[in-house]
Amino acid sequence: MLPPRFVRRLVCTPLLFVLTLLVVVLFPIGYVVAYLGGRERKRALRLLWFTLTWGARETVAVLECGWLWIRGRAHDDRHYDIIGRYVGALYASAQRRLGLSIEVDGTWDGSGGDRPLIVLSRHAGPGDALLIVHHLLSEYRRRPRVVMKALLQFDPCIDIVANRVPNVFVAPGGGAAEDVGRLAEGLADREALLIFPEGGNFSPERRRRAIRRLTRMKRADEATRAAAMRNVMPPRPGGVLAALESAPTADVVFVAHCGLDHMATAGDIWRRVPLTAPVQARWWRVPAEEIPGGRDARVRWLYENWERADAWISAQRIPEPK
């Protein structure tokens, strides 16, 4: 259970400032040590520079939020500008320092023009949510509403900014469908609701647990279909169905991606930086008029599109990095 908001602000925010200051002060020493680090020198320097950028941008974003609060604008739309600068700086640093590049197949544009969107994305690898939010803000000029884990509120920047604009934080154990439905209410043109229906980052063990869960719940058809998908976890339909019900005029965009799958731990990130292959992304848009009605039909439709994502990932045939 999370501590109250005022406790998080009193503890985590000063801690962010202290840690960022330590990174800045110790950066020259760390740079020298990393430079003398033998064959791992370049990798260490890349991660050191990215850490400095991350801490600095987090601190700047929190200070910008504080300035808006002082001016009585704690719920001002300028918070989207803060989010855009924050994720944009991290994206640029990841490109320069970590070797990030993205190849996109498909488009989010459609005949619906500026109609609201519900974005349903696979969740696999570090930072995929930030990448999608960056594309929503910079490429498609959409204001995102995001369904995310409650534990992310330990991050001061996310805690402050995301609680000042429409978002939902989900606690472990589910039961957040009503909150997602309320978040989708009033979804306007040029806005997008981002949901990760799998409920967490993909891993083979989590996939097996999810299939066993479906079996225990006697959802045999879903368990069978989930077992046939090797690259994704079965989608949890509760939040998706609530969003579709609350935003009936919204088109749906499905997002599949691969290339960050094998970076689940700090050790994985260390071994695979810099990235040697681009992150592959595929997305497709389903107009609101083509979304079926009724719970059972919508669950089948959701699984059909998830199977499409799984087949696309398999077709990429990206070998696991050594």
Each residue's pLDDT tens digit, 51-91: 999 999 999 999 999 999 999 999 889 999 999 999 999 99
Q: pTM to 2 decimals?
A: 0.92
- Give pLDDT < 70 ranges for the chain: 108-113, 173-175, 317-322
From the list 231, 219, 211, the residue with the least C-alpha distance to 310 is 231
What is the pLDDT, as a whole number, of residue 169? 95
Label the pairing between strands 143-149 and 279-286. Answer: unpaired
| Extents of the domains making up the chain | 101-316
Q: Between vectors from CA 73 to CA 67 and to CA 74, what angle results, nearest 5°?
A: 85
What is the pLDDT, as a whole number, of residue 110? 58
What is the pLDDT, as a whole number, of residue 321? 47
**CATH code that applies to domain 101-316:** 3.40.1130
Which residue(s) pair with 165 in the sheet? none
What is the pLDDT, as a whole number, of residue 300? 96
Cα 251 from Cα 181, distance rounded (Å) = 15
pLDDT tens per residue across span 161-196: 999 999 999 987 666 899 999 999 989 988 999 999
From the list 154, 237, 234, the residue with the least C-alpha distance to 202 is 234
Other Cβ atoms within 10 Å of 300 Cβ, number: 16
From the list 178, 235, 191, 189, the residue with the least C-alpha distance to 211 is 235
What is the pLDDT, as a whole number, of residue 260? 87
